Amino acid sequence: MNPLKATLQQAVSGMELQSRRMGVTAENISNADTPGYKRKLLMVEQAQMTNGEQFLAARVELDKSEAPREFDPENPMADGEGYVTLSNVSLVTEMADMREANRSYEANLNSFQQARSMYRSLLDILRR
């Protein structure tokens, strides 16, 4: 495969992955105040196709950490003991994840633009 084309494909794959990560993080932030909501995590792993090409596969899993409980017997979502299970989403953690995903997206975008510029320069040289 053409190395420049492979670089472009890797950058696009990285941008798609970070875009999905930002979507999961945004969903977590929007549900931070929803009682009983479990934080979602995007799990990324490297997989291999039958022809030998490698790619990144991502799946969404629920965070297994314990959510805080609050005593509120008047709440309709309270259990038999009067406790309501809150969300296990930390806004500080989610904002840090969002910032990291944004920076990674920008890095992939810069890589894509650089590879495209190199490809364009190569075509200009070959035309002469």
Q: In this structure, what token pair is assigned to residue 103?
A: 């920076």
pLDDT band at residue 50, thresholds of 50, 70 and 90?
A: low
pLDDT at 1 over 70: no
Quick one: which of 71, 77, 90, 94 has its CA closest to 33?
A: 90
Q: Which two tokens stand for residue 44?
A: 């990324």
Please give the tally of structural domains in the chain. Answer: 1
pTM: 0.80
Range of the domain at 46: 3-127
- Mean pLDDT for 43-49 is 76
Q: Write the Ramachandran bin of 42: left for phi over 0, alpha for psi from -120 to 50, otherwise beta.
A: beta
pLDDT band at 53 (very low <50, low <70, confident <90, very high): low
Residue 69: strand, helix, or coil: strand
